[in-house]
């Protein structure tokens, strides 16, 4: 089943995200986390590609396990900046062989020790989308940035590039993490005005430690609202309290989104089934309403 078909259903869908093991020895640990998450009945589980694409083999392996062994829709991430065009084509072929129907197409981070771009690599995510379209009937997702991409100085350019990417064959979008829902609502208004009509899944990241917040900010440049900073200041030095507060904050974001008509939400659970379970427990009756 394709994710776009599920997103069009008139019901609430909550999806999760995990990352693959860096080594083959770590597969069982990740598989165990995924097995536990699957019991929470997510709409789908996405599997990241890993820094530099180094875990691409395990991305396909975990995505296949989710789909074929657990009976849950899976979404395999695919990045192109760190791989040659031929390597990308081999990954697409492998995903097809594994029966994976859903791919999240991303440019990915540019390795610091590599000249970019060069003729042998895709330069932009829209080029990767076009390539995936050539190789099968995949459902293709892509990323979007409510606060603007860090490489684009003007938000107008950001939306123009996003429309180009969507028009290349994207079925749905998932946002980068954000911590102020008004940013998401304003973003939706602007992209709809620009003619981008595909479903958009808000990406919610439960921040459960001070170190995780710092890492998230380094990666995304996201803005933390005063309310969240107060939580960090008060509870950041207490691991148990910060975990509980972070889960509560993410839950509150999701409830607000649902109350305002958003039906498809993606949670950056990473490999923490306990965090996923806590949030789903908080939403147990809400998602039925």
The mean pLDDT of 141-146, rounded to a whole number, is 96
Q: How confident is the model at residue 6 (pLDDT cuts 50, 70, 90)?
A: very high
Residue 233 has pLDDT above 70, yes or no: yes
The mean pLDDT of 159-164, rounded to a whole number, is 95
Residue 150 has pLDDT above 70, yes or no: no
Best-predicted range by mean pLDDT (47-61, 204-218, 271-285): 271-285
Total number of domains in the chain: 1
Q: What pLDDT is attached to residue 53? A: 46
Q: How confident is the model at residue 220 (pLDDT cuts 50, 70, 90)?
A: low
The alpha-helical segments, DSSP class H, found in 100-236 are 125-134, 155-167, 181-193, 210-220, 226-235
* DSSP-derived secondary structure for 42-79: -S-EEE---GGGTTHHHHHHHHHIIIIIT---EEEEEE
Which letter, b or e, does each residue of 250-272 get, where b requires 16 or more Cβ atoms within 10 Å of its Cβ?
bbebbeebbeeebbbbbbbbbbb
Full residue range of the structural domain in which residue 72 is found: 3-288
Q: What pLDDT is attached to residue 142? A: 98
Q: What is the CATH number of the domain that holds 10?
A: 3.20.20.220
Catalytic residue selected from 17, 101, 127, 147:
17
Known catalytic residue: 17? yes
Mean of per-residue pLDDT scores for the chain = 91
Q: How confident is the model at residue 156 (pLDDT cuts 50, 70, 90)?
A: confident
**Tokens 């789903």, residue located:** 280
Across 13-27, 107-121, 124-138, least confident range: 107-121
Cα dist. 286→9, 48, 142, 257 in Å? Answer: 17, 28, 28, 12
Using CA atoms, how far apart are residues 139 and 171, in angstroms rounded to an integer? 6
The mean pLDDT of 11-21, rounded to a whole number, is 95
Q: What pLDDT is attached to residue 44? A: 98
Q: What is the pLDDT of residues 40-93, one digit of tens each?
A: 999 999 999 865 445 578 899 999 999 999 999 999 999 988 888 999 999 999
Q: What is the pLDDT of residues 82-129, one digit of tens each?
A: 888 999 999 999 999 999 999 999 998 776 776 666 788 898 999 999
Q: What pLDDT is attached to residue 165? A: 97
């Amino acid at each position: 089943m394709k994710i776009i078909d599920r997103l069009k259903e008139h019901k609430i869908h909550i999806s999760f995200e995990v990352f693959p093991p860096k080594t083959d020895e770590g597969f069982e640990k990740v598989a165990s986390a995924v097995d536990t998450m699957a019991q929470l009945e997510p709409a789908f589980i996405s599997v990241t590609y890993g820094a530099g694409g180094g875990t691409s083999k395990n991305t396909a392996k975990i995505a296949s396990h989710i789909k074929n062994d657990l009976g849950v829709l899976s979404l395999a991430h695919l990045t192109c900046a760190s791989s040659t065009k031929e390597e990308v084509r081999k990954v697409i072929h492998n995903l097809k062989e594994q029966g994976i129907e859903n791919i999240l197409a991303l440019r990915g981070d540019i390795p610091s020790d590599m000249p970019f771009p060069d003729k042998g690599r895709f330069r932009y995510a829209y080029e990767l989308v076009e390539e995936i379209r050539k190789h099968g009937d995949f459902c293709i997702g892509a990323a979007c940035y409510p606060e603007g991409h860090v490489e684009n100085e003007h938000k107008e350019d950001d939306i123009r590039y996003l429309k180009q990417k969507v028009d290349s064959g994207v079925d749905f979008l998932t946002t980068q993490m954000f911590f102020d829902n008004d940013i998401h609502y304003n973003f939706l208004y602007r992209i709809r005005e620009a003619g981008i009509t595909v479903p958009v899944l808000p990406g919610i990241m439960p921040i459960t430690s001070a170190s995780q917040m710092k890492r998230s900010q380094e990666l995304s440049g996201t803005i933390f609202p005063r309310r969240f900073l107060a939580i960090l200041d008060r509870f950041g030095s207490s691991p148990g309290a910060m975990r509980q507060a972070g889960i509560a904050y993410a839950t509150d974001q999701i409830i607000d989104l649902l109350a305002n008509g958003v039906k498809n939400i993606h949670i950056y659970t990473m490999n923490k089934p306990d965090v996923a379970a806590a949030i789903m427990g908080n939403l147990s009756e809400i998602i039925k309403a």
